[in-house]
Amino acid sequence: MTPKITLVGAGSVVFTQGLLADLFTYPELDGVHVALHDIDPGRLATALAAARRIAEVRGVKPVLTAHADRREALADADFVVNIVQIGMGEATRTDFEVPARYGLRQTIGDTLGIGGIFRALRTFPFLKELGADIADVCPEAWLLNYTNPMAMNVQYLSEATGLTRVVGLCHSVYWTVHGLAELVGVPFDEVTYVAAGVNHQAWVLRFEHAGADLYPRLRELAAADEQLRRRVRFDMLHRLGYYPTETSEHSAEYVPWYLQHDTEIERLRLPIGAYLDIVAENEAEYERTRRAIAADEPLPVEGTGEYAPQIVHSVLTGTPRTVYGNVVNRGLIENLPSGGVVEVPCLVDGTGVRPTRIGALPPQLAALNRTYLSVNDLVVRAAVEDDPRHLRHAAMTDPATAAALPVERIFELCDDLVRAHGDRLQPALRAVLGR
């Protein structure tokens, strides 16, 4: 039977192109069925046309289908790749503009913080429907989630849908180590590394070449280069002893030390509202792709190195690999809460995806991760228990929000965001609670 891969949210055309460019590099997967689903007919048509162009350039002949109906797209799928963004750019701008009126600074706002909280809450109703559809029409499928906030979404899927074959995927570990290898002058494929923690706040625990620790070299480079020291990640390395696995713009949002201080914003060159520029560029890139297809112009067909195509290939062919996945913590990291979602190395082969046990993180790293996971848990509790108070509790617990605002203002901000997002939230969470 022909393997079937369903991309949900395929109208995110640029990301879809990258995934398919990777997928179509594997000769063993020639002829695979790729089903594309999106609720926007124009974006869906563009995604299908781009997929056909990429297949032609790669010299492969997959079965390509486009579906406005989600259940039809999911039927009998072996893999489901979720890349949906609920509310698109409009909702993201709301997540920045409303908090900015309160003086709350954000750089990316898609993982933690007030932006991450509301991005999760407007995504959960969709995830519940998606989980129900998968359980009904493709119960053995692997759900490979790219949608942020990664850890909140994977925890919600686990608790609200009962699905067990769920792995959250992010490229942050790969590209972090790739960049560090380049910085110390060692080929990436010669580096030995282990990272673990939570998504966007995992830690490079081992970074070695030929059995030698590369961390002393990193510290030497930072000591000699003021520009390196003016990055949040190197500041965290200096203070905590380990390097975090997301950009400085991301990392600054998950702790209370940086965005609340003008001097730190200047010292560490933090771009407030940076994600709004990314949103604008993504929208422009989609338009460029759409115009290129309409004019029958060439499209760039470049791979991304993303994990989803690697997992598909390994499961279908038995080829063993190690990837980094976001999975429910069942003894994987012993000093982080059970039931929270952690990011760890995962072994992949014909038997599926198997997370590896890390043991305990260094205590200072676990302390930060526990706060992150506490916010996540309260957001999930708000949705699973239909309790709007837990939405506010999550914002109160969030490090960056709590550092910036007194509690009454946090409640007012939550009320304003509830009003702004309106019916994107499940009904019980639309309540305005006041101070």
| Residues 343, 170 contacting (CB under 8 angstroms) | yes
| Residues 333, 342 contacting (CB under 8 angstroms) | yes
| Residues 43, 11 contacting (CB under 8 angstroms) | yes
d(CA 409, CA 435): 8
Residue 148 in marked binding region: yes
N- to C-terminal Cα distance for the chain? 58
| Residues 75, 137 contacting (CB under 8 angstroms) | yes
CA neighbor of 188 nearest in space, from 178, 201, 173, 198: 178
Sign of CA dihedral 365, 368, 370, 376: negative
Omega cis (within 30) before 337: no
Residue 138 in marked binding region: no
- Name the token pair of 379: 């957001």
| Residue 119: partners with Cβ closer than 8 Å, 6 or more residues away | 86, 91, 92, 95, 109, 110, 148, 149
- Name the token pair of 239: 């203070």
β-pair type (4-8, 79-82):
parallel
Active site residues: 171
* DSSP string computed for 113-182: HHHHHHHHHHHHHHHHHHHHHHHHH-TT-EEEE-PSSHHHHHHHHHHHH---SEEEE-SHHHHHHHHHHH
Residue 209 in marked binding region: no
Sign of CA dihedral 408, 393, 97, 417: negative
d(CA 140, CA 292): 38
d(CA 395, CA 410): 7
Helix (H, G, I), strand (E, B) or coil at 225: coil
β-pair type (142-145, 79-82):
parallel
| Residues 176, 247 contacting (CB under 8 angstroms) | no
The binding site for substrate comprises 148
Please state the residue numbers annotated as binding site for Mn(2+): 170, 200
Which residues fall in the annotated binding site? 148, 170, 200
